[in-house]
């Protein structure tokens, strides 16, 4: 087609099913915006490029489609680096396009002149500069393909101001699946895993984000059912098996991983969240979407790389001897039920100041099955990870292993844009809210339905309590107590409430859910309450 480079870039994105671009304005991007306007690409603008990039990642996480952000040259790109890194660690498929100072005058000191590629190369799958209209088409198409191909991740293309010149170029066709599902797995390796399952007495499956990205939740469930295997989920794996499925467990995790004789970890790294892959005497199997993801540091009995849906389909066909694992499942169910019974009082606690668990006791009663819950904070969000149940894929979003605070408003914007008809709940620590507070203006302006809840303990709780435990004192962990974040949201055009009594939480949440647009319930919580955790900096 005959068009300028901005339009060509957008047409390529659209051929990869991208319909939304998150951005913050900059003159280096005007031609790209013109391309978006010409073609009906939705532009959603924010107040900080970190939020634009997190919104692109959140959009990908929620929709399992490519996310896209456009960042202006120089500071726009460097502001996006933390979010790009998070997307890399999460294997989230996003394409980040950027402006760039003109190549014709490179080195003369143009405004915002910076070579971004060496900066983003370590935190992206691919990073390149497009140097002409033809190169824009080729590079943006390659970036989309690389981002979508397992193991997925962020890609980057910057476009110099003087490379947008018109061209007459064909947009490459994206045919069917086009290999984006990953390579067919090795059938012999799968047969070894099936034999381990058949020989095991106490097997456990841990399913993570790549099961979700691979759309493998149905074959995963069929495998779990056929092999009668207990399932735990983490990260974006949450909801791939509904929390109320008879084989879904969460509270029994430490017992399960300690006593298992076989631990199959699928679609998630054997990182600090999984004790780096050391599970007592168990055989450890790592099922990955690509060879690059197989843990190099763990003592693996077996590993398989390739399309996770195909892996589970093959394993489901093998099944397991009838009755082989029932005692084990009953043992875990008893543990699960005992732990859940023990936590019930905290969900109803009437103590003042408010304990964070009580907030979740109230929230759980009000969440729809498909509510999208986003957690951005320390201890307050750790409670959410434990107490909020996920019933559908793509409904619980946290920062992932990179742990970057400040992703919440960007993710919430993406959720609100992608699913205007669903509950979107944004859980924030009072420390975390400071990173992207300005982007509540973007949430209000774009008219998304988001209910934010702040666990306001006046401290960086996840840092203060561990430093106390390690050093006997703490520094730089205090925030001003009782800040009226509810009034900030009112000033920005949303609905705000402050709550300091346990009995008022529920009614405030009801009003917040009933109010269209952005609401924020600012709950003053007990700074003495520390989330019980065994390690902090693993």
Contact set with Mg ion (CB under 5 A):
429-431, 457, 461
Residue, CB closest to ligand TPP? 429
Site for ligand TPP in 436-455 (CB under 6 A): 455
Q: Are 429 and 356 in contact (CB under 8 A)?
A: no
Residue 379 binding target from ligand TPP, Mg ion, none, CB below 5 to 8 Å by type: ligand TPP
Q: Are 50 and 69 in contact (CB under 8 A)?
A: no
- Least distance to Mg ion, CB of residue 479, Å: 7
Of 152-160, 310-318, 335-343, 403-411, the window that binds ligand TPP (rule: CB under 6 A) is 403-411
Question: By CB under 6 A, is residue 463 in contact with ligand TPP?
Answer: yes
Site for ligand TPP in 347-386 (CB under 6 A): 377-380
Nearest to 297 by CA among 278, 311, 316: 278
Sheet of 495-499, strands arranged across: 396-397, 372-376, 424-429, 450-456, 518-524, 495-499
- Least distance to Mg ion, CB of residue 150, Å: 37
- What does the DSSP assignment read for 7-73? HHHHHHHHHTT--EEEE---GGGHHHHHHHHHHTPEEEE-SSHHHHHHHHHHHHHHHSS-EEEEE-T
Question: By CB under 6 A, is residue 461 in contact with ligand TPP?
Answer: yes
**CA 355, CA 505: separation in Å to the nearest integer?**
11
- Least distance to ligand TPP, CB of residue 477, Å: 8
Question: By CB under 6 A, is residue 429 in contact with ligand TPP?
Answer: yes
- Least distance to Mg ion, CB of residue 404, Å: 16
**Between 153 and 377, whose beta carbon lies closer to ligand TPP?**
377
**CA 371, CA 424: separation in Å to the nearest integer?**
6
**CA 121, CA 128: separation in Å to the nearest integer?**
9
- Least distance to ligand TPP, CB of residue 379, Å: 4
- Least distance to ligand TPP, CB of residue 140, Å: 30
User: Judged by CB under 6 A, which of 63, 457, 519, 522 binds ligand TPP?
Assistant: 457
User: Judged by CB under 6 A, which of 153, 431, 494, 502 binds ligand TPP?
Assistant: 431
**CA 315, CA 219: separation in Å to the nearest integer?**
9
> H or E stretch including 184?
none
- Find tokens 């007459």 and name the residue: 168
User: Judged by CB under 6 A, which of 229, 230, 405, 498 binds ligand TPP?
Assistant: 405
Question: By CB under 6 A, is residue 101 in contact with ligand TPP?
Answer: no
Of 113-121, 458-466, 485-493, 510-518, the window that binds ligand TPP (rule: CB under 6 A) is 458-466
Nearest to 167 by CA among 26, 23, 35, 70: 35
Question: By CB under 6 A, is residue 460 in contact with ligand TPP?
Answer: yes
Residue 360 binding target from Mg ion, ligand TPP, none, CB below 5 to 8 Å by type: none
- Least distance to ligand TPP, CB of residue 343, Å: 18
Contacts of 40 (CB under 8 A, 6+ apart): none
Contacts of 94 (CB under 8 A, 6+ apart): 53, 56, 57, 60, 66, 67, 68, 69, 87, 147, 154, 155
User: Judged by CB under 6 A, which of 403, 420, 481, 516 binds ligand TPP?
Assistant: 403
Footprint on this chain of ligand TPP (rule: CB under 6 A): 377-380, 403-406, 429-432, 455, 457, 459-463
């Amino acid at each position: 087609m005959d068009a300028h480079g901005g339009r060509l870039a957008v047409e390529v994105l659209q051929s990869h099913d991208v319909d939304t671009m998150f951005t913050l304005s900059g003159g280096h991007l005007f031609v790209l915006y013109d391309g978006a306007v010409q073609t009906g690409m939705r532009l959603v603008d924010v107040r900080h490029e970190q939020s634009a990039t997190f919104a692109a990642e959140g959009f990908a996480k929620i929709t399992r489609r490519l996310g896209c952000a456009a960042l202006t040259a120089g500071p726009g790109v460097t502001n996006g680096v933390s979010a790009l890194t998070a997307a890399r660690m999460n294997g989230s498929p996003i394409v980040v396009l950027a402006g760039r100072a003109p190549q014709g005058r490179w080195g003369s000191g143009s405004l915002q002149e910076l070579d971004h590629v060496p900066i983003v190369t370590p935190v992206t799958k691919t990073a390149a500069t497009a140097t002409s209209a033809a190169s824009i088409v080729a590079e943006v198409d390659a970036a989309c393909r690389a981002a979508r191909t397992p193991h997925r991740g962020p890609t980057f293309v910057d476009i110099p101001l003087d490379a947008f010149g018109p061209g007459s170029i064909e947009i490459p066709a994206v045919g069917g699946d086009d290999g984006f599902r990953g390579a067919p797995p090795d059938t012999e390796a799968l047969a070894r895993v099936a034999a381990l399952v058949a020989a095991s007495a106490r097997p456990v499956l841990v399913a993570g984000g790549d099961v979700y990205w691979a759309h493998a939740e149905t074959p995963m469930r069929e495998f779990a059912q056929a092999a009668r295997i207990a399932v735990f989920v983490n990260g974006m794996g949450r909801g791939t098996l509904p929390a109320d499925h008879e084989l879904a467990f969460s509270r029994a995790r430490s017992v399960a991983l300690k006593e298992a004789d076989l631990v199959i970890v699928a679609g998630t790294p054997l990182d600090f969240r999984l004790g780096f892959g050391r599970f007592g005497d168990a055989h450890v199997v790592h099922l990955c979407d690509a060879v690059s993801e197989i843990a190099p540091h763990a003592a693996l009995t077996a590993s398989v790389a390739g399309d996770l849906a195909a892996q589970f389909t093959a394993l489901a066909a093998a099944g397991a001897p009838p009755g082989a694992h029932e005692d084990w499942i009953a043992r875990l169910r008893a543990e699960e039920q005992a732990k859940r019974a023990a936590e019930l009082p905290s969900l109803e606690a009437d103590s003042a100041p408010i304990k964070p668990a009580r907030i979740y006791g109230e929230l759980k009663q009000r969440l729809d099955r498909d509510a999208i819950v986003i957690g951005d904070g320390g201890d307050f969000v750790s409670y959410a990870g434990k107490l909020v149940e996920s019933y559908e894929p793509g409904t619980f979003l946290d920062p992932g292993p990179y742990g970057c605070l400040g992703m919440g408003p960007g993710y919430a914007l993406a959720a609100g844009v992608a699913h205007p008809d669903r509950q979107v709940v944004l859980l924030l620590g009072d420390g975390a809210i400071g990173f992207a507070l300005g982007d509540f203006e973007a949430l209000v302006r774009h008219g998304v339905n988001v209910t934010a809840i702040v666990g306001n303990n006046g401290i960086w709780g996840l840092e203060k309590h561990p430093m106390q435990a390690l050093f006997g004192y703490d520094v730089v962990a205090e925030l001003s107590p009782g800040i009226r974040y509810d009034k900030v949201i009112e000033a920005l055009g949303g609905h705000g409430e402050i709550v300091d009594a346990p009995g008022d939480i529920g009614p405030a949440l009801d009003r917040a859910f009933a109010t269209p647009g952005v609401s924020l319930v600012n709950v003053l919580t007990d700074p003495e309450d520390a989330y019980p955790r065994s390690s902090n900096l693993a």
